[in-house]
Amino acid sequence: MVGAWRAGSCRVRQRLWLGAVGQATKQIPLGTAVTALVHRYNPVVVAQQIATLEALFPGRAFLGVGSGEAMNEVPAGMDYPDTGEQLKRTEEALTIVTRLLDGETVDFDGEFFRAKRARLYTLPTRRPPVYMSAFYEGSAEVAGRLADGVWTLGDPKQAPKVIAAYRRGCEQAEREPGEVILQTSFSWAEDDETALEHLREWKGTLVDENYTDPVVDPAAIYRKAEKEISDDDLESQVIVSSDPSKHVKRLETLQALGATVLVAMNQSGADPHAAIRVYGEQVLPELRSA
């Protein structure tokens, strides 16, 4: 399956517009990538929200979960933990979410989260799938044990390790593997330089420390990215081109890594609507016909 889902951290505004998108469309999947389950969003409430979305738009809702980033969690009052605690928190919260979506009445007394006789009283006919974000093997194994698929970056060096760990987790839990979702970003414009120019502000998303360390100030994130991520680094990790055929080739490369779903994040700041048209008319049809 090939998709052009718009991914990003789940903030309040995104939760609000999912209902609007569902009302204005008929078929596209509706969900978040990624809802952080370490602090801001209580897992009981998250389960209720995704169940409600599925009840409103049957067959279309999904939930992407992960550990988020300090930039969003620290302002909400959290002392951002190390990666070990991040994973523990995510695993506890994910356990609660999946049990609720399975229709259970949940009592849970964990190290970080609790639930007392929690239950979804509006349970949709179809259980919306839950995908877990994983950038390394440890979190991928948790995804294999608890989630319906793994969501990771389309990095040719790292993705195979993450996918293998996810499948190990599935095997340990005696579960069939679910979706393997590989995500990349793209920027399209009428010329290559314009496509690159409007993508540079996203360099901060390529700095690993922004997801593992208590980095909070957006201006500091931008400065660090400008210092550490060159234009060549940027172009090697995302798709930057005015030529639709180059977008097709890069996405085919990701598909060959074992993806069952491709997520293309539209970062075409010059003209995002034109980029969507190019993908709809030239890129996605080529991928689907391959």
Q: Exposure of 76 by Cβ count < 10 A (0-12 exposed, 13-18 middle, 19+ buried)? A: exposed
Helix ranges (H only) for 25-158 are: 43-56, 70-73, 83-101, 137-146
Quick check: is 8 in a domain? yes
Q: Exposure of 244 by Cβ count < 10 A (0-12 exposed, 13-18 middle, 19+ buried)? A: middle
Per-residue pLDDT, averaged over 118-141, amounts to 96
Quick check: is 258 in a domain? no
Q: Is the pLDDT of residue 284 over 80?
A: yes
Report yes or no: 204 and 221 within 8 Å, Cβ to Cβ. yes
Give me the amino acid identity at 72.
Answer: N
Quick check: is 150 in a domain? no
Q: Is the pLDDT of residue 9 over 50?
A: no
Average pLDDT, the chain: 92
Quick check: is 164 in a domain? no
Per-residue pLDDT, averaged over 9-34, amounts to 80
Q: Is the pLDDT of residue 12 over 70?
A: no
Quick check: is 13 in a domain? yes
- pLDDT, residue 15, reads 64
Q: Which 8-state DSSP code applies to residue 182?
A: E
- pLDDT, residue 4, reads 36
pLDDT band for position 192 (50/70/90)? very high
The domain spanning residue 90 has which CATH number? 3.20.20.30
Quick check: is 59 in a domain? yes
Q: Is the pLDDT of residue 61 over 70?
A: yes
Quick check: is 32 in a domain? yes
- Total domains, the chain: 1
**Beta partners for residue 233, in sequence order:** none
d(CA 21, CA 286): 26
> What domain range includes position 124?
1-133
Quick check: is 9 in a domain? yes
**Neighbour-count burial for 178-193, b at 16+ CB within 10 Å, e otherwise:** bbbbbbbbbbbbeebe
Q: Is the pLDDT of residue 1 over 60?
A: no
- pLDDT, residue 16, reads 79
- pLDDT, residue 17, reads 85
pLDDT band for position 11 (50/70/90)? very low
Q: Which 8-state DSSP code applies to residue 102?
A: T
Q: Is the pLDDT of residue 94 over 90?
A: yes
